[in-house]
Every structure is written in structure tokens, then in C-alpha cells.
A and B are shown apart, each in its own frame.
Chain A
């Protein structure tokens, strides 16, 4: 079963604009991870934020975590056509050592 929900399910923006995706989850976590999946391919790890962190940056990516609201957001700045993919949040529950994925956001960057 899925841990939570991602919002929006699909997002289409122009190249150069920023893209924001949200993730909500249900149970306590050790960390939350974001993965990208190009069409028909495996997933690629993007960034991890621990439960005691509130914000993290990696290149054009910014992730926030609000454990009181059990939610996270992924911001991609200055989007490029190559960012077109599905993005999944995944939670690593306390003591579980396994990931539970959300439903994903399908992002389309229009040139």
C-alpha cells in the first residue's frame, strides 16, 4: 500500500519556470527521499532529507520537510526539457529500512 499522496498528479510548465511538487505521508519517518523516473526506466535517487532537517539543497533542487504536517515539497528551479519525468517521494520509516513510495507527480517541461 502507498504511504501517502503526491500533489499534483501531473504538472506541465514552460522551460525556465520553477516546478513545485508536494508529498504527504502518514507515519513517523527516519528520512524522506525523492526519486526521478524517466518513462519506462528505473528510478534515480535525487535527494534525501532527514527527519530532523527542515530544508536541503542540491543544485537546482530544494526540498523542505514539515514533520508536524507530515509533508514535504520538492522545488526544481529553472526547469529544463531534460527534467521531464515522474517524481516520487519515498519515506523510510523508523526501524523499517524499507521505502514506501507515493503515487508520483508526472512533470512535463515544454520547450
Chain B
């Protein structure tokens, strides 16, 4: 069964360092989402891609966060520099065109010390 892949699964870093997360969506899914989920809360959308184009990044803290999906397939989310408040689960999801269901990866748990 096709799945969304994410790596790493866990990342511990010190504040002011740079971190990067990778996501490989289900093959053929044109829409890709990055969410941040703080412990005990629901996921919040950071950025949405349609193929290689950003559709919505209104909630992305652009002074320190960046995201790209250069070839419209896999995607990278970067934080530079990391802050203590960035500790959270970062989830990637993908969706096929014409469908509503989103498929989520296992997430990357980030801890900033």
C-alpha cells in the first residue's frame, strides 16, 4: 500500500541551528501539505503545494521557515535558525487531484534544546 514517507522520524537540535525535514508523497499526488502539530493540539497548516507551486504559505513564519518542492514530487521543509518554540511534530500529507482525503506521513518529532 502506498504511503507518505518522512525523514528523519526524530530530530534533536540546539536553538539557532538549522534543521531540514524531507517528505516523499504518494506517487501521483499533486497536492502536498506541511503541518505543524504542537503536543495536545490539532495540526496547523504551514504550507500547501500544488505540483511545484506554493498555493498557501500564509501561516509559514517566513523569517525562519522555508519550503520547496522543486520537481513537484518530494519536498523539503527547513528551519533556520531553530527556536525553542519550534519543538513540535511536523507532518507531511498528500492528496490526489479531485479527491478530498489527505494521506499523512508518520511525522518528524523535533525537539529544540
Do the two chains bind? yes
Chain A residues with Cβ under 8 A from B44's Cβ?
1-2, 101
| Chain B interface, DSSP helix/strand/loop, else mixed | strand
The reply to whether A98 and B41 contact each other, CB–CB distance below 8 Å, is no
Counting chain B residues whose Cβ lies within 8 A of the other chain, the interface size class is 20 to 34
Chain B residues with Cβ under 8 A from A98's Cβ?
33, 45, 48, 56
Chain A residues with Cβ under 8 A from B72's Cβ?
none
Chain A residues with Cβ under 8 A from B93's Cβ?
42-43
The reply to whether B101 and A42 contact each other, CB–CB distance below 8 Å, is no
Please report the C-alpha to C-alpha distance between residue A103 and residue B37 in the assembled complex, in whole angstroms.
10
Interface size on A, residues (CB 8 A): 23
Chain B residues with Cβ under 8 A from A99's Cβ?
45, 102
The reply to whether B48 and A48 contact each other, CB–CB distance below 8 Å, is no
Please report the C-alpha to C-alpha distance between residue A104 and residue B107 in the assembled complex, in whole angstroms.
17
Closest B residue by C-beta to A45: B101
- The B-contacting residues of A in range 13-42, CB under 8 angstroms, are 31, 33, 35, 40-42
Knowing A40-B109, A97-B31, A98-B56, the reply to whether A45 touches B103 (Cβ < 8 A) is yes
User: What distance in Å separates the Cβ of A92 from its nearest Cβ neighbour in chain B?
Assistant: 6
Closest B residue by C-beta to A3: B42
Please report the C-alpha to C-alpha distance between residue A75 and residue B3 in the assembled complex, in whole angstroms.
27
Chain A residues with Cβ under 8 A from B109's Cβ?
40
The reply to whether B42 and A33 contact each other, CB–CB distance below 8 Å, is no
Please report the C-alpha to C-alpha distance between residue A44 and residue B101 in the assembled complex, in whole angstroms.
9
Chain A residues with Cβ under 8 A from B25's Cβ?
none
User: What distance in Å separates the Cβ of A50 from its nearest Cβ neighbour in chain B?
Assistant: 9
Knowing A98-B33, A98-B56, the reply to whether A44 touches B104 (Cβ < 8 A) is yes
Name the 6 nearest CB pairs between A and B, nearest first. Answer: A101-B42, A42-B104, A43-B104, A45-B101, A42-B106, A101-B43
* Chain B interface residues (CB < 8 Å from chain A): 4, 31, 33, 40-45, 48, 55-56, 89, 91, 93, 100-107, 109
